[in-house]
Amino acid sequence: MKTESLIEARWAELMQDASPAAKQLLARLSERHAREFAATFYEEMLQDPDARGFLSSEGIVERLTESLRRWIDDILVSWEPSAVPRLIASQRRLGAVHARIGVPLELVMRGTRLLKQTIIGALLGNTANTDHLEAAKIAIEMVDMAVEIAAHQYTASCEVEARTEEAYRNYASSVNMAVERERQRAALFSWENELLHALMAGAPGAALPLISQSGFGLWLRHKAGSIFPLDGEFCEVAQATERIDANLELLRSGEAPYVGSEGARRLVDPVLSETRRIHEVIETLFERQVSLESGRDALTHLLSRRFESTVLCREIEISRNTGKPFAVLLLDVDHFKSVNDTYGHEAGDHVLQRVAGVFSDNVRSGDFVFRHGGEEFLILCVELTAEDAVAVADKIRAAVEAEPIAISQTVSLSVTVSIGVAAYDGHPDYQRLISRADRALYEAKHGGRNKCALAA
């Protein structure tokens, strides 16, 4: 973020320092040539076999050409310093999309070089062919080529590092989770008992054991990060251990009243409360990890959402190489909240399990069924056209509607699903495909539910 702050400051400074003549020249350049620049850019990029893989569809090139035209216009025409945060955010989103699609960094640098060559050529023309302008053009291109080569090596090195890290994570996660859970549960209890024994015995403050120095603390600091995602719950445990030790350090230092006083109890009670919370979160993390080891959602036993990006990216690559179509179905259980509110969450869980079974029973062995989140599911139908995918969606919709779901000995429910269908259209970004299916799902739900809708 420090680098971005420096770029933001320099960008604003450049806007302020640019002469009115330069601003006018660049604005006029964008107005007259932005579309031409974008078209030339993609014409040249299509000559590159590596780039062609990401631009295989004519429709994709047309859409990206228009996007690049808007990007050029944004860069060359925005001159208010207040616009810089928006421009920075836009570039950040662009980088995220490139990463999601898997565009190699050297292709981005090559494209940047081509674009700058085109802009410089339009600015210099045939009338400003002085030595120093030519030297500037050559220097910029040589620097860009050098950076492009460095970027290529950067990508290769990152891939090696990523493979090494993934191999280590696979090794770390191959640990028997049930055994590891018992080991760390015992280590945490051991530290807790040691602490309580010291408190009850009235031991000197310096004898109170810190959780960070316990077996559990060492495992958390050095190994747990290779097993669990470094997200909110993991951070919650780490922060809880820091707060525990902060309170214990006060008791160890003698700066706070010790055992038997009200002040000491006010320090000890939060320690015990934090410890209980650590027990709860660690149990949750291990439970989740056990279910993820098989790549399955713990409730429905469908594929976990975390594999959606990997599978979709692979199917996009297969489609790009073979021309085989595929489609995504996004499904939502209608009025699911009312099921939970009326019959309870246990009944809601049972509904999701039964619906998931219907989905699995009505797809082919080559298709993928994911628990997308909550009461939403995603089905990837391989080698199907849009029309065939709609037919599959309607078959699934009818099968769910016809399936009675017993939630007790006396009560059975009949639930329905709404389905949005999106056929792969050649766009390299899988998130765009999901977004199209989501918009189609919105149409199906707002069209009366228990319907299928095909994305445009």
Say yes or no to pLDDT of 61 above 80: no
Do 135 and 41 meet the contact criterion of CB atoms below 8 Å apart?
Answer: no
Residues 143 and 183 in one domain: no
Taking residues 92-119, what's their average pLDDT?
Answer: 77
Residues 155 and 239 in one domain: no
Do 275 and 214 meet the contact criterion of CB atoms below 8 Å apart?
Answer: no
Pairwise CA distance, residues 38 & 43, whole Å? 9
What CATH number is associated with residue 421?
A: 3.30.70.270
Compare 94 and 84 and report the one with higher pLDDT.
84
End position of a domain, from candidates 267, 293, 319: 293
Do 38 and 114 meet the contact criterion of CB atoms below 8 Å apart?
Answer: no
Pairwise CA distance, residues 383 & 367, whole Å? 9
Residues 160 and 218 in one domain: no
Residues 250 and 351 in one domain: no
Cα torsion through 339, 343, 349, 355, rounded to 10: -50
Taking residues 225-248, what's their average pLDDT?
Answer: 85
Taking residues 17-37, what's their average pLDDT?
Answer: 83
pLDDT number for residue 261: 54
Say yes or no to pLDDT of 427 above 70: yes
pLDDT number for residue 381: 95
Residues 159 and 192 in one domain: no
pLDDT number for residue 125: 67
299 lies in some domain: no
298 lies in some domain: no
Say yes or no to pLDDT of 443 above 90: yes
Mean confidence (pLDDT) of the chain = 82
Residue range 342-354, pLDDT digits in tens: 999 999 999 999 9
Residues 212 and 95 in one domain: no
Q: How far apart are the first and last CA of the chain?
A: 38
388 lies in some domain: yes
DSSP three-state, residue 327: strand
Q: What pLDDT band is residue 385 in, cutting at 50, 70 and 90? A: very high
Taking residues 403-413, what's their average pLDDT?
Answer: 89
End position of a domain, from candidates 143, 168, 193: 168
Residues 154 and 10 in one domain: yes
What CATH number is associated with residue 144?
A: 1.10.490.10
Within its chain, how far is the Cα of 83 from the centroid? 27
Residue range 251-304, pLDDT digits in tens: 777 654 444 555 556 667 888 889 999 999 998 888 877 665 556 787 898 888
Within its chain, how far is the Cα of 166 from the centroid? 17
Residues 37 and 82 in one domain: yes
State the total domains in the chain.
3
Residues 384 and 252 in one domain: no
Taking residues 116-123, what's their average pLDDT?
Answer: 79
End position of a domain, from candidates 293, 314, 332: 293
- Percent of the residues in the chain that have a pLDDT greater than 90, as a whole number: 32
Say yes or no to pLDDT of 358 above 90: yes
Residues 83 and 127 in one domain: yes
Q: Kind of pairing, strands 412-414 and 326-333? A: unpaired
Domain that holds residue 201: 177-293
pLDDT number for residue 146: 63
Say yes or no to pLDDT of 24 above 90: no
How far is residue 314 from each of residues 51, 170, 310, measured CA to CA in Å?
A: 17, 20, 6
Residues 149 and 202 in one domain: no
Residue range 200-219, pLDDT digits in tens: 777 666 678 999 989 899 88
Residues 97 and 215 in one domain: no
Do 74 and 87 meet the contact criterion of CB atoms below 8 Å apart?
Answer: yes
Residue range 146-163, pLDDT digits in tens: 655 656 565 666 666 666
pLDDT number for residue 360: 93
Taking residues 424-437, what's their average pLDDT?
Answer: 92
Closest CA to 42 of 32, 54, 33: 54
Q: What pLDDT band is residue 68 in, cutting at 50, 70 and 90? A: confident
- C-alpha angle 357/363/367, rounded to 5°? 110
300 lies in some domain: no
